[in-house]
Amino acid sequence: MLKSELVPGRKYLRRRSTVIDGVLRTAEGWIKCKEITREGAIFGRDFEEDMTLTNKQIEEELRKKL
């Protein structure tokens, strides 16, 4: 997904790969766009700290919008 397609207040599905105990695993979860910045965007989830994704991470990890 391109950063230009993001809309603050909407939820997006984030799919990412991570290594857990030496095994490559795919994780996914819904995150809400809070603010678009020059370097990327700030996202949040319920009861968790905000996270910042870079432009590259947005293009690679965000798939759908709700």
- Contact assessment for residue 50 and residue 43, using Cβ atoms and an 8 Å cutoff: yes
Q: How far, in whole angstroms, is CA 38 from its chain's centroid?
A: 16
Q: Give the tens place of pLDDT for each residue, 13-46.
A: 999 998 989 999 998 999 999 999 999 999 999 8
Nearest alpha carbon to residue 35 among 12, 52, 16, 58: 52
Q: Give the tens place of pLDDT for each residue, 49-58.
A: 999 999 999 9
